[in-house]
Amino acid sequence: MSTHGSYSMRSKGSFENEAKATGKESGGGGGGGGGKSGKTMSTNSKENLFIVFLVTLWYSSNIGVILLNKYLLSNYGFKFPIFLTMCHMSACAVLSYVSIVFFKVVPQQMIKSRSQFIKIATLSLVFCASVVGGNISLRYLAVSFNQAVGATTPFFTAVFAYLATLKREAWVTYGALVPVVAGVVIASGGEPGFHLFGFIMCLSATAARAFKSVLQSILLSSEGEKLNSMNLLLYMSPIAVLVLLPAALIMEPNVVDVILTLAKDHKSVWLLLFLNSVTAYAANLTNFLVTKHTSALTLQVLGNAKGAVAVVISILLFRNPVTVLGMGGYTITVMGVAAYGETKRRFR
C-alpha cells in the first residue's frame, strides 16, 4: 500500500530531463560545459537529498507503526487487534481520499466495472486477514521474531506464484529460498519468548500478504483494470472498514468499554490511537514514494535493511531477550532474501 506526488514529487525522468534542458540552455564552449556540469551536479544533489529524506520517512513510519502496534497491544493493555486494524483502515480511507481528491497527489483512477470492484473487494479481504493476523501476532511475539518470520514473504510468494501460474523460476532461484526458511526454523528454536499461537498467526499473516501480492498481479493484470497502490488503497480501505467494524463488535464486544476505561486512567490513549493510525497511512504513502523514486534493487536492499533496523530498535526499546541462535537464524533469513532477489534479477 502506498501513494502520492503532485506538488514537487518528480520522477527520475523529470530530473534527468531538467538536467538536459539546463545543459542546452547553457550553450556550447568550455564555459557552457562547466555551467552544465555544475547545474547537473546541483540537480543530482537535490535528487539524492530528496531520496534520503523519503527513505528516512519510510523507515520512521514503517518501524514506528510496528513499535506502536507492539506497545499498544502488548505493553499498554489494549488487546484489540481487530479494532486497531479498523482504526488503521479508517485513517487510510480518509487520508487517501484527501490526498488524491483534494491534493491530487496522484491522478484518481476510477472503478470501471462491477467485475473490477469484486476483484478489489477480494483483495481487501485478503489484505484484512494479513494485517489482523500480523497485529494479533504482536500480542504474543517480540518484534524481532515477528520481523524474522515476516522476512519469509518471498518464499510464500514463490509458492503461490507457481501454484497460480505454473511458471517455474530457475532452480537457483528456488535454491536461494532454502536459507530463508532454514533461518526462521533456527530463529524459532532460539526464540526465548516463542509462542505457538502467535507464531501461527504471524506465519498466516505473512502467507496472506504474499497471496495478496500474487492475487493482485492476476486479478488486476489487464491495462484497463490496473491501479497504482495509492488508488488501490483508496478503494480497499473503506471495504476493509465495513468488514472489520462488525468483526470487532462481535469478536471484541467490550472494546468500547475498555477504551473508555483506559482513557480515564491514560488520557493519551486517544492520541496514541490517532498517531498509530496516521503512521499506518504514512507507511503506505512513503512506501509508494520510495518505490517511485528508486530502482527495484535499491528498494529490495532498503527493505532488508529496514527489517534489521526495526529488530535492533525494538530490542533496545522493549528489552526482549534474544539469543545468538535466534539472531543467527534471522541473519540467515535476511541473507537468503537478498540472494533470492538477486537471482530473480539475474535469471528472469
Residue entry with cell 533469513: 333
| Cα angle 309-144-76, degrees, rounded to a multiple of 5 | 105
CA separation for the pair 176, 342 (Å, rounded): 9
What are the structural domain ranges in the chain?
A: 12-347
Tens-binned pLDDT, residue by residue, of the chain (348 aa):
433 333 333 333 433 333 333 333 334 444 455 555 666 667 788 888 999 999 999 999 999 999 999 999 998 879 999 999 999 999 999 999 999 999 999 999 999 999 999 999 999 999 999 999 999 999 999 999 999 999 999 999 999 999 998 888 889 999 999 999 999 999 999 999 999 999 999 999 999 999 999 999 999 888 888 899 999 999 999 999 999 999 999 999 999 999 998 888 888 899 999 999 999 999 999 999 998 888 777 787 888 889 999 999 999 999 989 999 999 999 999 999 999 988 988 886
- What is the rounded end-to-end Cα distance, in angstroms, of the chain? 25
Around 4, how many Cα atoms within 13 Å sit in the side-chain half-sphere?
Answer: 23
CA separation for the pair 192, 189 (Å, rounded): 8
Phi, psi of 103 (to 5 degrees): -90, -10
Amino acid of residue 309? V
The count of other CB atoms within 10 Å of the CB of residue 239 is 20
DSSP H helical segments within 190-323, as ranges? 196-219, 229-251, 255-265, 269-293, 296-318
CA separation for the pair 72, 82 (Å, rounded): 13
Instruction: Answer whether 70's CB lies under 8 Å from 317's CB.
Output: no
pTM: 0.83
